[in-house]
Structure formats: C-alpha cells, structure tokens
Amino acid sequence: MTIQTVTTTMSSREFNQDTARAKRAAQKGPVFITTRGKPAYVLMSIDEYREVKGRSMTLAEALAQPGDGPDFEFDPPRLGDEIFKPVDLDFD
C-alpha cells in the first residue's frame, strides 16, 4: 500500500491566520510557507522530519522544490587527472 503525500503551499498571512489548517495539512505532507510569493519555511510532521533527517535529498527531490529553482549551491567535485593513467600496450 502506497501512502500519497500531499504538498500544500500557503502564504505567511494564511499561516498566521489559520495555524490549525496548516497543522492538519502537515499530517498529509509538507506545507510550504511563502513570504512575498517565495518559499521561506516548511512545516512537516515530526515523523516526516525524522525520516527526512535520516536520509539525503535525492536529485529529483531537489529539482522538484517549488519556486524558481533550488535554494542551494550545487558544485560537484571534479575528478582530477591523477585518476586516469595511459594504457600500456607494450607486451615485451
């Protein structure tokens, strides 16, 4: 059985006016709270937080974040030339 997660987005004003609705929504999935139209906070259940804390974010999850793009820097390490060695084809 698969449990479907529902993502909710609400403005800071909506959150301040109806925290009970935000808490109910957080039981079904993350609640993104926006400030001036941009995601600023995430509200989630403690169980979901513990699950997320115990694992790394996948690339798909990072790319699926709401807004104009991810809010983190991505600078993967570069492989140096020292790992490549020329092939020795001399068999003498």
Going along the chain from its start, the domains and CATH numbers come out as 8-55 (3.40.1620.10)
So what's the pLDDT on residue 8? 92
Q: What is the pLDDT of residue 33?
A: 95
What residue spans of the chain are helical by DSSP H?
Answer: 12-17, 19-26, 46-53, 59-63
- pLDDT score for 13: 95
Q: To which H or E segment does residue 43 belong? A: strand 38-43
0.85 cut: is pTM over it? Answer: no
Low-confidence ranges of the chain (pLDDT < 70): 1-4, 65-74, 76-77, 79-85, 92
Strand partners, 35: 38
pLDDT for residue 44: 93
Q: Which residues are registered as beta bridge partners of 8?
A: 31
